[in-house]
Structure 1
Amino acid sequence: MQRQPSAPVPGALKVPVDGAAHETKVGAALEYITDAVILLRHDWTIEFVNVAFERACGKTRETLLGTHYWTTFPNIMGPRFESEARSAMTAGTAHMYDEFSPRLNKWFECRAFPWEEGLVILFIDITMRKADELTRVDMEEKLVRIQRMESLGTLAGGVAHDFNNILAAILGHAGMMLEELPEGSPLRDHMQQIKRAGDRAREIVQRILAYARGGSQELSKYQLAPLVEDSIGLLRSTLPPTVRLTVDLSGDGCVATVDPAEVQQVVLNLCTNAWQAMPGGHGHLHVGLRAVQFDVPHAFVIGRVGPTRYAELCVRDDGQGMSAEVAGRLFEPFFTTKPRGQGTGLGLHIVNGIVHAHGGAIDVQSHPGRGTLFSIYLPIVDEAAPIDAATLAKVAEPGEGESVVYVDDDPIVLMMVEALLKKAGYDVRSYADPRGFLDDVEQGRVSLQLLITDYNMPGMNGLELAVAVRGTLPRLPVIITTGYIADELTAAADQMGAVAVLQKERSFEELVELAARALRGFPESRFQESGLAPL
Structure 2
Amino acid sequence: MPRQHSSHGPGATAAPEEGVALAGAALDYVTDAVILLRHDWAIEFVNVAFERASGRQREALIGRNYWTSLPGVMGERFDAEARAAMQLRTAHIYEEFNARLSKWFECRAFPCEQGLVVLFIDVTTRKADELTRVDLEEKLVRIQRMESLGTLAGGVAHDFNNILAAILGHAGMMLDELPPGSPLRSHMEQIKRAGDRAREIVQRILAYARGSGHELSKHRLRPLVEDSLGLLRSTLPASVRLTVDLHGNDCVATVDPAEVQQVVLNLCTNAWQAMPGGHGHLHVGLRAVQFDAPHACAIGRVAPTRYAELSVRDDGHGMAPEVVERLFEPFFTTKPRGQGTGLGLHIVNGIVHAHGGAIDVRSEPGAGTVFLVYLPVVSDEAAPLDTSTLAKVADPGEGEHVVYVDDDPIVLMMVEALLKKAGYDVRTYAEPGACLEDIEQGRVPVQLLITDFNMPGMNGLELAVAVRETLPRVPVIITTGYIGDELSDAADRMGGVAVLQKERSFEELAELAALALRGFPESRFLDTGLSPL
TM-score (normalizing by structure 2): 0.89
1:143 to 2:137 alignment: no
Partner SS, residue 77 of structure 2? helix
Map residues 390-469 of structure 1 onto 2, 5 A cutoff. 393=391, 395-469=393-467
Partner SS, residue 339 of structure 2? coil
User: Distance in 2 between the 1:395 and 1:235 partners?
Assistant: 34
Partner of 1:194: 191
- Which amino acid in 2 is paired with 1:284? H
Offset of 1:385 from its aligned partner? Answer: 7.0
**Contact kept? 1:407, 1:430, Cα under 8 Å:** yes
TM-score (normalizing by structure 1): 0.89
User: Distance in 1 between the 2:392 and 2:23 partners?
Assistant: 102
**Contact kept? 2:387, 2:530, Cα under 8 Å:** no
The Cα offsets for residues 254-283 of structure 1, whole Å up to 9 and x where unpaired, read as 344434432332122112222333344444
The Cα offsets for residues 442-486 of structure 1, whole Å up to 9 and x where unpaired, read as 444433122111111122221122222223322221111111111
Offset of 1:146 from its aligned partner? Answer: 1.3
User: Distance in 2 between the 1:389 and 1:214 partners?
Assistant: 24
User: Distance in 1 between the 2:115 and 2:351 partners?
Assistant: 65
- Which amino acid in 1 is paired with 2:46? V
**Contact kept? 1:244, 1:285, Cα under 8 Å:** yes
Moved more, 137-146 or 374-383: 374-383
Which of 86, 91, 99 is equivalent to 2:88?
91
- Which amino acid in 2 is paired with 1:411? P
Moved more, 314-323 or 232-241: 232-241
**Contact kept? 2:248, 2:308, Cα under 8 Å:** yes
Partner of 1:203: 200
Partner SS, residue 287 of structure 1? strand
The Cα offsets for residues 275-297 of structure 1, whole Å up to 9 and x where unpaired, read as 33334444433222222233444
Partner SS, residue 470 of structure 2? coil
1:114 to 2:107 alignment: no
Partner of 2:3: none
Which of 42, 47, 50 is equivalent to 1:45?
42
The Cα offsets for residues 356-409 of structure 1, whole Å up to 9 and x where unpaired, read as 233322111223333222111223342767969999557421223222211111
User: Distance in 1 between the 2:214 and 2:203 partners?
Assistant: 10
**Contact kept? 1:290, 1:313, Cα under 8 Å:** yes
**Contact kept? 2:217, 2:384, Cα under 8 Å:** no
Partner SS, residue 140 of structure 1? helix
Call closer, same or farther: CA 1:319–1:194 in 2, change over 3 Å.
Answer: closer
Partner SS, residue 122 of structure 1? strand
1:152 to 2:149 alignment: yes
Offset of 1:511 from its aligned partner? Answer: 0.8
User: Distance in 2 between the 1:303 and 1:50 partners?
Assistant: 50
Call closer, same or farther: CA 1:530–1:279 in 2, change over 3 Å.
Answer: closer
User: Distance in 1 between the 2:387 and 2:38 partners?
Assistant: 97
Call closer, same or farther: CA 1:383–1:249 in 2, change over 3 Å.
Answer: farther
Partner of 1:68: 65
1:357 to 2:350 alignment: no
User: Distance in 2 between the 1:255 and 1:83 partners?
Assistant: 68
In structure 1, runs of 5+ residues without a counterpart are 1-6, 8-16
Map residues 209-248 of structure 1 onto 2, 5 A cutoff. 209-216=206-213, 218-248=215-245
Offset of 1:242 from its aligned partner? Answer: 4.8
User: Distance in 2 between the 1:399 and 1:237 partners?
Assistant: 39
Partner of 1:128: 125
Partner SS, residue 425 of structure 1? coil
Call closer, same or farther: CA 1:103–1:385 in 2, change over 3 Å.
Answer: closer
- Which amino acid in 2 is paired with 1:406? Y
**Contact kept? 2:394, 2:511, Cα under 8 Å:** yes
Offset of 1:317 from its aligned partner? Answer: 2.2
User: Distance in 2 between the 1:471 and 1:231 partners?
Assistant: 45
Moved more, 26-35 or 183-192: 26-35
Partner of 1:269: 266
Call closer, same or farther: CA 1:63–1:394 in 2, change over 3 Å.
Answer: closer
Partner of 1:298: 295
- Total equivalences in the alignment: 520
**Contact kept? 1:255, 1:383, Cα under 8 Å:** no
User: Distance in 2 between the 1:312 and 1:325 partners?
Assistant: 25
**Contact kept? 1:400, 1:426, Cα under 8 Å:** yes
Offset of 1:497 from its aligned partner? Answer: 0.9
Partner of 2:524: 526
The Cα offsets for residues 4-59 of structure 1, whole Å up to 9 and x where unpaired, read as xxx9xxxxxxxxx9944654555455445432221112222111122332343343
Moved more, 140-149 or 384-393: 384-393
User: Distance in 2 between the 1:54 and 1:205 partners?
Assistant: 63
Partner SS, residue 178 of structure 1? helix
Moved more, 298-307 or 60-69: 298-307
Map residues 155-166 of structure 1 onto 2, 5 A cutoff. 155-166=152-163
User: Distance in 2 between the 1:310 and 1:34 partners?
Assistant: 58
Partner of 1:320: 317
Call closer, same or farther: CA 1:413–1:389 in 2, change over 3 Å.
Answer: closer
Percent identity over the alignment is 80
**Contact kept? 2:34, 2:46, Cα under 8 Å:** yes
1:481 to 2:479 alignment: yes
**Contact kept? 2:387, 2:529, Cα under 8 Å:** no
Moved more, 218-227 or 381-390: 381-390
- Which amino acid in 2 is paired with 1:321? G
- Which amino acid in 2 is paired with 1:498? G
User: Distance in 2 between the 1:534 and 1:508 partners?
Assistant: 20
User: Distance in 1 between the 2:531 and 2:453 partners?
Assistant: 22
Call closer, same or farther: CA 1:88–1:385 in 2, change over 3 Å.
Answer: closer
Offset of 1:80 from its aligned partner? Answer: 2.0
User: Distance in 2 between the 1:96 and 1:127 partners?
Assistant: 16
User: Distance in 1 between the 2:443 and 2:476 partners?
Assistant: 19
Call closer, same or farther: CA 1:24–1:87 in 2, change over 3 Å.
Answer: same
Moved more, 158-167 or 41-50: 41-50
Partner of 1:14: none
Partner SS, residue 121 of structure 2? strand
Call closer, same or farther: CA 1:285–1:76 in 2, change over 3 Å.
Answer: farther
Moved more, 383-392 or 307-316: 383-392
User: Distance in 1 between the 2:297 and 2:404 partners?
Assistant: 52
Which of 175, 179, 182 is equivalent to 1:182?
179
Map residues 20-31 of structure 1 onto 2, 5 A cutoff. 20=17, 23-24=20-21, 26-27=23-24, 30-31=27-28
1:288 to 2:309 alignment: no
Offset of 1:145 from its aligned partner? Answer: 1.4
- Which amino acid in 2 is paired with 1:424? A
Partner of 1:338: 335
Call closer, same or farther: CA 1:225–1:419 in 2, change over 3 Å.
Answer: same
Moved more, 248-257 or 507-516: 248-257
